[in-house]
Amino acid sequence: MKGKILTYLILLTATSLISFDITANDKKGTREEAECESYVSIQGSSNVNQFQFISYNPEVNNRTAKNPGKEPYQNIQIPVYDFSGPNNRMLNDFYKMVNASQYPNININIEPRELADFDETTGMTNFRTKIFIAGNSREYIVPCRIIFCDGEVPVLKGELKVELTDFEIAPPTKIFGAIKVDNEVFINFAFRLQSKKTLTENATF
């Protein structure tokens, strides 16, 4: 009887280890895949909760995207209606807040890499970045890091804090002012750009 119990425990332990190994490998694969994925997220909070809206469909170097000058900027266009959110009601509030019916895209323009400043202390590169939301624009200096996927495809990752009033957006209120959205929101992004070969040929990033 003891022998059967011991055998059972050994089999149970082995099964657990195999299951753990498969799960770990699955998570690793998911993490690497996500690391190379383009996305834009907008996070904020109110006096009662937190929220996040995210799009996995930013259009990099879209020809119709806004460009503030003649420099070969990286142009990113994010269709507002491509964002997902916690629920439909909050998503509709987000569409209304950024006036999506009149301005259906958020645009982000990032200066060429050769014009950006590398910070040796942080290891980050500071890019001059112009953001267009709800028909208004604001320029920021955004610390970013660059990773390479598939050997040569650069992915630019950055995050910044903005205020809704930067874009002439009044922080929304609900239920006669009982619920108030904070003015500060956080934008996180990752953009798959051109390959190193293309970048070298065009000297755009």
Cβ-Cβ contacts under 8 Å for 138 (sequence gap 6 or more) = 130, 131, 162, 166, 167
Whether 67 and 5 map to the same domain: the answer is no
Whether 79 and 160 map to the same domain: the answer is yes
**E-strand stretches of 46-195:** 50-55, 59-60, 74-79, 105-110, 117-119, 124-133, 136-149, 153-163, 173-174, 179-180, 184-192
Q: Count how many domains the chain has.
A: 2
Whether 3 and 55 map to the same domain: the answer is no
Whether 179 and 113 map to the same domain: the answer is yes
Whether 53 and 124 map to the same domain: the answer is yes
Whether 21 and 45 map to the same domain: the answer is no
In order along its 205 residues, the chain shows pLDDT tens digits of: 545 444 443 334 333 333 333 333 333 333 445 678 899 999 999 988 899 999 998 998 765 555 545 555 788 999 999 999 999 999 999 999 999 999 999 999 998 888 899 988 888 999 999 999 999 999 999 999 988 887 778 899 999 999 999 999 999 888 776 889 999 999 999 998 765 444 444 444 4
Whether 30 and 49 map to the same domain: the answer is no
At residue 131's C-alpha, the angle toward residues 126 and 134, to 5°, is: 165
Which residue segment(s) compose the domain that 2 sits in?
1-35
Whether 149 and 74 map to the same domain: the answer is yes
Whether 47 and 28 map to the same domain: the answer is no
Q: Which pTM was predicted? A: 0.74
DSSP letter at 181 equals: B
Whether 64 and 95 map to the same domain: the answer is yes
* CATH code, domain with 55: 2.40.128.110
Whether 107 and 122 map to the same domain: the answer is yes
